[in-house]
Structure 1
């Protein structure tokens, strides 16, 4: 018997680890665009899931942004049915008119569609094919945008999406491995032209920045960037836990926050408390920036009688009688 190709084995092992310990008996749904990463993930899931007693389905999302997108989605669905996936669904979404840039709008539409499909089929989890290279790109983009630790933490291997676990099994798998797996398995991935469109920042990072870093620092830079994300994510989780407890301690009966309790916190914890509280008040997470949180922090640490802080969504916060109060 021929030896299993290392790339195929690595992806199957990653999927098996991700599926271990999932609650419930519903299917796992693979999000598959037809690209090399998601085809390799889907093929591995089709192999692994039945062997761990888990049904596997597949969802492909048609954003309708390119000619022939509906036909490509249908082709992915036909392949999935032949590979033994059930359920299989091709979902068309509307991107136009959504807030944010084209990348953000498409991402929001895609995740909404995936979450809806997961609920329709009572899925135990959703699987997406983000790789180590995607993680490295995410860290670099976060650095370039001046993101804090939450941005540098990159993409988590597991997060909640509308009540469904969203799993990223391939964050330790390289893009070269997914392409090799497709060749070995005889899969013909679709090449998304958006991935090489220089009008997208991520495409420029992929085409120019990461190759330059690899040439200058060696191929280990990809693993190191991904490792940085894991380390920062672990630290961020601890700070988030401390901030959650501090927010509870600072709450006042009328809904405000006690300034003395906030003032005694370390800055990294206090700003997280203020960020979380602003979101509770209704400020949009996407629009809530470090400038808003900094202005709230100044009400605590640099009080000079300044006026209200205006938050995204029309919300206001003032300092009154030793409290930060909404309205």
Structure 2
């Protein structure tokens, strides 16, 4: 139990702190202003606007996590697309794809990455997380953008009229929130345990919020259900692993470190994540990785792969809910076949980049 608490304590602390940062950043209008400035910077080009949204979704995912992109950026992107009279489905799908496939670069980008830090630290003479994952992370992002651009090439042609300006926001809260979000990226790659800069950022924003918009303090919603689910999954997978699950998973994923063995591992990880969910898939496969390259291949599979089914990652479920609230319907068949192409391209490209 002590080992369990030692491992998941920083993860839960980070999750709660970053949720506070994201909620206050949304209240401050960081995502709203960024998306509308992207629309103006596109100067009427649909393709240029899409590429700017790609950059925004990628940056949001890397620094503030995939769930933040799914929950907070999706409605803003849909609003901008509608104001520009552009069919919103291409922009909606691009956002959810990048929320998953762009979540490899930093430990904070995905909950699985934070869990992986424990294993990285137990590998003798291990390099840093970023130095190991930057190549597969870049490959996954590029593959996603290329395939998504080809799939929606017709939608991305043409021009649009200027969108409405962003809604008015408290300027002090907006500026402080934007500066804090930008400062987090270098802090997250500095080698400091991510929970500390996340907690410091949350504290700064809470103080500013208390001065500028005290009423919103009571409206911040912390993900207690997610926290409970993480604890339950840890206990359940640990119990199942000691009763045969680990051996079965080892047989399924193999044990080699060559190219085909790594593709087998990342592909199997992606498949299991789509069948169930990426978090339990990671926890089940982690004990049989055995090397740094295999652990990286596991992360590729459970981060970039679980986008074919709606339940493959929590971020996708959150994204679907935001689309429904915005009145945007993405047909399940369309989502599945297009996401399958993206998943295969991203997982294969990222694994080969290892």
Quickly name the TM-score band, shorter chain normalised: under 0.3
Name the larger-Rg structure.
1
| Higher strand content, 1 or 2 | 1
TM-score (norm 1): 0.26
TM-score (norm 2): 0.25
| Higher helix content, 1 or 2 | 2
